[in-house]
Amino acid sequence: MTVPPPTPDSISPWWDLSSRRKSLVVFALLFLATIPMLTKIFTSDFGTHIAIGREIIQSGSVTDKEFLNYPSLGMHVPNGEWGFQALLYLVFSAGGVYAVSFLCWAVVFGIYLLLHRSMTLRGADPYLAVFAIFAFSGFLRIRIQPRPEIFTYLFTALTIFLFAEYYFGEKKWLLYLFPPLILVWANMHPSYLIAFALCGAFFVDGLARAAWRKELRWDRLKHWVIPPVLVGGVGLIVCGLNPHGYDAILTPLHLLSRGKDGGGGGSSILMSISELTPVKGTGMYIYYKAAASFAAFSLLLGIIGRRVYLLDLFLFAIAFKGAWASARAVSMMGLFLSPGASLHLTGFWERTREWFAPDRSPDWKGPAGGKGRKKETKKERKKGRKYITVPVRPPEPLSGGLSWGRVAVLAMILVTLVSFGAVTLSFSFSQLQYGIGMTEHKFSFAAAEFLRKYPVPGKMFNFFDIGGFLDWQLYPKALTFIDGRTYNQEVFREHQIVTGALPGWKEILRKHGITYIVLKSVDSSGQILPIVPVLSRDPGWSLVFADGLFVIFVQNSPENRAYVAKHEISKGILPRQIIAESHHYLYLGVSPVVAYANIANMYLTLGKRQTAIDVLRKSVRVYDEPYLRNMLRQLELGGGANPASGGLRK
């Protein structure tokens, strides 16, 4: 028997891949989407977590007493992040900072895979799901650092996957992994209330869909009600098995309420530096507004494509409510927005099939052999009229039924998603240095080695933003004054007084018996720390170390006289120290306006007016900021005001 040759319509187009090949393409695309997510480690909290994790592993126990910051020694500090800290230390011990970077990358890849699977289970196009994930990658990247919260992102994606698999997939037994997930989550980061919120969202959505389909019968509902309620109840029981107990379940609500109320004094400053303040007015607000615009556009397409679901409205509400109350939650928005966006876009894309389908009426028989004639009605036959319909060829589809109109729509969707993701990613690149390992622009390993090799008698005061690094590098030989945890508000208040050179700063140093100070001369906003120019003019303090990243001052006391005589260096290098640090901070998201203004002012302090002008000319060519242009104009016209030098000693 002769097999007939395949017709053009029966030949699969090159893009119509088998299920296995499609999975490989999706896997490759998700892998490629993780490459821009690499960030160098810049958070000082990394050092604190390494130091605590080291103590946990070496001692075999989890302490609830402070042991790193000497003003707070013995203070009751339940550690609900010990699981992350132990894991981080083990990873670091196995492969150093590059292994830690790999851990962060693996978490991102896991998030992408889990989200993608949950989207396709609910009917999203696998390729559009990839691009929806990529669209929000810039949001996630702004917080991808070795902090416990990265596992909050992973566990959130895993929770979404478990419930999507139960309500929309076939591996319903995976739902019973929810209680173990809660147990692990509760011992890594106190944010597991999110899991119960997601459980409730999926549960209510399931009941709503059953009511819509008129399936509210017990024989069907018992499969939708009993297992989720059971695992949710067990999860509530095991979530208390952590150092914080059951109190921690409401931690996210407490933090959000604190951020909303603002607090007062040191508390409001503390909330601000922790990014727990409301998003409006912060650097994250631009992301929030971009997400709102994208969500509105996505919902519009979802309405057109008839793919707007209650569950996605719940997820959208969680995303926007959480981020509005806490700027830190902006990074999580993509976890809640991308699933709905993928379904909206899929519905819109499928709707275009109707719009661009070949226009063939029921009477169409094709153009050949006179088969395109329209049937005559009785009335027409009576009048003797004959009407022949001239066949009009429908729009020519591409091979496989993909018309040029649908190609144009698909191109528009993909360009929108890629452009949105590229813009948010590029913005994050201006804030976080791309790469793996530790950033070379913030921490001074040379300073840590100097203090290990030449320990200073007495106690240390340190800038909080390098406290974690010093915890890691110096404990147990030296204890820090403060680190990024800043849980002791009295100590934080004293830190602010000293670094701000406010009245009473000397009394605080005497109170704690402080004999040396380890600082950055420029803070994370790019401003010169007020205490630095004060110390530069104070003969009671000597500069013993400066490498463009850290400075170390030692008190000129009789006990330290020999130490100072051996290690003292001229304070006249401090302007160059500030120049170097300002250059470094350009890689860490500091405003170039602030950085270049600092640099120009320091050259003026050194008496190098022409160099200051050259620096400003270069900055204006790159950034063209009005403040820098005005500063340059003043110098070129002979002005020489130098208010930003703070009275630094030459």
Domain shared by 611 and 503, yes or no:
no
Question: Distance between alpha carbon 354 and the CA centroid of its chain, in Å?
Answer: 39
pLDDT higher than 90, residue 510: yes
- Residues 547 and 519: their CA atoms lie apart, in Å, by 11
Closest CA to 459 of 535, 520, 512, 519: 512
Q: Which has the higher per-residue pLDDT, 19 or 630?
A: 630
Question: 423 in a domain, yes or no?
Answer: no
| Count of domains for the chain | 3
Domain shared by 642 and 503, yes or no:
no
- pLDDT at residue 519 in the model: 97
pLDDT higher than 90, residue 535: yes
Domain shared by 470 and 486, yes or no:
yes
Domain boundary among 585, 601, 631: 585
Domain boundary among 330, 350, 370: 350
Contacts of 221 (CB under 8 A, 6+ apart): 207, 210, 215
- pLDDT at residue 598 in the model: 93
Query: What predicted TM-score, i.e. pTM, was given to this entire model?
Result: 0.88
Domain boundary among 585, 605, 621: 585
Query: What average pLDDT does the segment 445-465 reach?
Result: 96
Question: 218 in a domain, yes or no?
Answer: yes
Domain shared by 640 and 562, yes or no:
no
Question: Distance between alpha carbon 117 and the CA centroid of its chain, in Å?
Answer: 21
Q: Which has the higher per-residue pLDDT, 390 or 215?
A: 215
Domain shared by 191 and 144, yes or no:
yes
Query: What average pLDDT does the segment 454-469 reach?
Result: 96
Q: Which amino acid is at 315?
A: L
pLDDT higher than 90, residue 506: yes
* 105 touches 37 (CB < 8 A): yes
Contacts of 559 (CB under 8 A, 6+ apart): 457, 458, 515
Domain shared by 514 and 610, yes or no:
no
Q: What is the 3-state secondary structure (H, E, C) of 600-632?
A: HHHHHHCCCHHHHHHHHHHHHHHHCCHHHHHHH
Domain shared by 493 and 635, yes or no:
no
Domain shared by 91 and 214, yes or no:
yes
Domain shared by 486 and 572, yes or no:
yes
- pLDDT at residue 105 in the model: 97
Q: What is the CATH number of the domain that holds 561?
A: 3.40.50
- Residues 441 and 42: their CA atoms lie apart, in Å, by 8
Q: Is 382 exposed, middle or buried (0-12, 13-18, 19+ CB in 10 A)?
A: exposed
pLDDT per position as a tens digit, 468-490? 999 999 999 999 999 998 889 99
pLDDT higher than 50, residue 540: yes
What's the chain's average pLDDT? 87
Question: 3 in a domain, yes or no?
Answer: no
Q: Which has the higher per-residue pLDDT, 250 or 296?
A: 296
Helix or strand holding residue 544 (H, E): strand 541-546
Query: What average pLDDT does the segment 492-496 reach?
Result: 96
Question: 15 in a domain, yes or no?
Answer: no
Peptide bond into 539 cis (omega under 30): no
Find tokens 């990243």 and name the residue.
Answer: 549
Query: What average pLDDT does the segment 453-473 reach?
Result: 96
pLDDT higher than 60, residue 642: no
DSSP summary character for residue 491: H
pLDDT higher than 90, residue 458: yes
pLDDT per position as a tens digit, 548-590? 999 999 999 999 999 999 999 999 999 999 999 999 999 888 8
Which range of 220-229, 335-344, 375-384, 425-434 scores highest in mean pLDDT? It is 335-344
Question: 162 in a domain, yes or no?
Answer: yes
534 band by pLDDT with thresholds 50, 70 and 90: very high
Distances 413 to 364, 420, 588 between C-alpha atoms, Å = 33, 11, 33
Domain shared by 305 and 452, yes or no:
no
Question: 424 in a domain, yes or no?
Answer: no
- pLDDT at residue 389 in the model: 45
- pLDDT at residue 368 in the model: 46
- Domain extent at residue 81: 21-350
Lowest mean pLDDT among 1-10, 322-331, 453-462, 484-493: 1-10
Domain shared by 185 and 116, yes or no:
yes
Which range of 11-20, 213-222, 547-556 scores highest in mean pLDDT? It is 547-556
Question: 63 in a domain, yes or no?
Answer: yes
Domain shared by 554 and 510, yes or no:
yes
- pLDDT at residue 224 in the model: 79
- pLDDT at residue 3 in the model: 53
- pLDDT at residue 193 in the model: 92
Query: What average pLDDT does the segment 154-181 reach?
Result: 96
Question: 625 in a domain, yes or no?
Answer: yes
7 band by pLDDT with thresholds 50, 70 and 90: low
